[in-house]
């Protein structure tokens, strides 16, 4: 069974991240962050209104003030905490609960859902695509949720018993929330309806990523997730209800996103920065490790069909705001390859006249 863990392709580790954490082992050199990525100023003391705005989604269709607040949040930092999202506190707790229960299962049970060596979906760790790739201190379960016909149900855990039912309900609700959000984003820029969603195709993709960050004995050297911007159009994160860890880079300072137990953290992804011609910002963010506490989160990435070409909305291009990005297909896959090789994905799709 040990050979099936597939935590790293071609880089076999004697122990998983979770096992190293339990034993208090020092992370191997492959996990040590280089180039000063840990050295930026930590600005977790900034006031919450400055760092991460709070937006009430239930007001977006009726309040011009809330709509402009949304636009400012997406133009300035690309990230906000969503309340009024239509999901009860008890249901949010249930989603967190199934994540915790899955990661708490015996190792042999979790390994039933291991990802294939060159695959993305399943349990384990992210694919290694470069010898220079610094490894992240976490395990994850990565699944495609929509389109439904593309679900690989053999990788959907059967334990806990209500996992599949809760997951389906959560993503049905999230999809409704996303549609509302995209309409509000279009309205905030005075765009015609479907200027963004019209680029997604008939089968937009939604992925879920359950993240497990165990305690780490070297939080000064190792990150749960390296600095990156998301490949998605929009990412929605359900944070751990107690333990902070997510940080966004704002004005060259790392700002900790505070925990609001039943809020959802929404951030713009690269594909929306492209579609908005750079008006909405895809923030650089990372996850810090914690010496004493484990952290669990649930991230959802919403993306256009891979084969569907996306590009800046024509109405957002003029003499004062020239085209910044070229049209591109299959950006999600390209983003991962570029990122792990140390390239900046958005720089790779810059438009050159």
Cα 53 from Cα 33, distance rounded (Å): 30
Beta carbons of 231 and 345 less than 8 angstroms apart: yes
| pLDDT for residue 290 | 95
Q: What is the pLDDT of residues 66-75, one digit of tens each?
A: 999 999 999 9
Q: What is the pLDDT of residues 262-293, one digit of tens each?
A: 999 999 999 999 999 999 999 999 999 999 99
Cα–Cα distances (Å) from 313 to 196, 199, 277, in that order, read: 7, 9, 7
Beta carbons of 105 and 313 less than 8 angstroms apart: no
Phi then psi dihedrals of residue 326, to 5 deg: -85, 165
| pLDDT for residue 3 | 38
| pLDDT for residue 36 | 53
Cα–Cα distances (Å) from 168 to 8, 113, 146, 164, in that order, read: 29, 18, 10, 6
| pLDDT for residue 126 | 79
| pLDDT for residue 23 | 79
The DSSP line for 107-141 is: HHHHGGGBPPTT-SSEEE-PPP--TTPPPPS-EEE
What global pTM score does this model have? 0.91
- Token code pair at residue 109: 């049970």
Beta carbons of 180 and 60 less than 8 angstroms apart: yes
Least Cα distance to 214 among 142, 136, 137, 287 occurs for 137
| pLDDT for residue 41 | 40
b/e map 235-259, b = 16+ CB within 10 Å: bbbbbbeeebbbbbbbeeebbbbbb
| pLDDT for residue 100 | 96
Question: Beta strand pairing status for 79-83 and 54-56?
Answer: parallel
Ranges under pLDDT 70 in the chain:
1-14, 35-50
Beta carbons of 346 and 229 less than 8 angstroms apart: yes
């Amino acid at each position: 069974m040990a050979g099936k863990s597939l935590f790293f392709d071609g880089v076999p580790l004697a122990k998983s991240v979770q096992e190293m954490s339990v034993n208090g082992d020092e992370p191997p050199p492959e996990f040590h962050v280089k180039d000063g990525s840990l050295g930026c100023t930590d600005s977790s003391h900034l006031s919450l209104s400055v760092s991460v705005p709070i937006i009430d989604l239930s007001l977006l269709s009726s309040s011009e003030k809330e709509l402009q607040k949304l636009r400012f949040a997406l133009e300035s930092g690309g990230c906000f905490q969503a309340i009024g999202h239509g999901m009860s506190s008890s249901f949010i707790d249930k989603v967190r609960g199934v994540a915790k229960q899955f990661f708490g299962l015996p190792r042999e049970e979790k390994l039933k859902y291991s990802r294939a060596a060159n695959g993305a979906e399943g349990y384990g760790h992210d694919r290694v695509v470069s010898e220079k790739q610094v490894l992240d201190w976490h395990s994850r379960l990565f699944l495609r949720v929509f389109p439904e016909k593309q679900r690989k149900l053999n990788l959907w855990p059967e334990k806990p018993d209500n996992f599949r039912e809760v997951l389906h309900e959560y993503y049905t609700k999230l999809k409704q929330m996303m549609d509302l959000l995209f309409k509000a984003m279009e309205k905030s820029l005075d765009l015609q309806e479907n200027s963004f969603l019209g680029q997604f195709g008939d089968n937009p993709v939604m992925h879920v990523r359950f993240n497990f960050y165990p305690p780490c004995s070297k939080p000064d050297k190792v990150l749960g997730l390296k600095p990156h911007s998301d490949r998605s159009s929009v990412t929605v994160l359900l944070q751990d209800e107690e333990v902070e860890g997510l940080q966004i880079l704002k004005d060259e300072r790392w700002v900790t996103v505070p925990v609001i137990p039943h809020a959802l953290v929404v951030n713009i992804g690269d594909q929306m920065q492209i579609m908005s011609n750079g008006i909405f910002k895809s923030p650089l963010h990372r996850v810090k490790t914690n010496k004493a506490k484990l952290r669990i989160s649930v991230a959802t990435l919403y993306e256009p069909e891979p084969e569907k070409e996306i590009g800046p909305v024509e109405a957002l291009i003029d003499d004062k705001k020239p085209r910044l990005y070229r049209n591109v297909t299959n950006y999600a896959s390209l983003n991962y390859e570029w990122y792990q090789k140390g390239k900046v994905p958005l720089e790779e799709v810059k438009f050159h006249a």
